[in-house]
């Protein structure tokens, strides 16, 4: 499915920020308006999917093996 697509390596902190942001959006959904809750939830979900795809399909780091 993703044979012709190249994924950029993303930092692991992006996945942590997306999870934290999504959880905070879900926890504080009553104090936010519905449009903000939906928008922030969708934004952090897209961030998580991008970081997961980068982790799974991204290039392997080039390291020297001693």
- Tens digits of residue pLDDT in 15-41: 999 999 999 999 999 999 999 999 999
Q: Are 6 and 54 in contact (CB under 8 A)?
A: no
Spatial distance between the Cα atoms of 40 and 17, rounded to a whole number of angstroms: 12
**How far apart are alpha carbons 14 and 46 in whole angstroms?**
11
pTM of the model as a whole: 0.76
Q: Does 7 have pLDDT greater than 80? A: no
- How high is the pLDDT of residue 1? 66
Q: Where are the domains of the chain?
A: 12-57
How far apart are alpha carbons 61 and 3 in whole angstroms?
Answer: 19
Backbone angles phi, psi at 34, to 5 degrees: -60, -40
């Amino acid at each position: 499915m993703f044979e012709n697509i190249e994924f950029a390596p993303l930092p692991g902190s992006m996945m942590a920020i997306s999870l934290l942001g999504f959880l905070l959006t879900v926890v504080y959904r009553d104090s936010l308006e519905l449009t903000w809750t939906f928008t922030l939830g969708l934004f952090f979900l897209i961030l998580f999917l991008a970081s997961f795809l980068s982790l799974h399909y991204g290039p392997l780091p080039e390291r020297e093996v001693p």
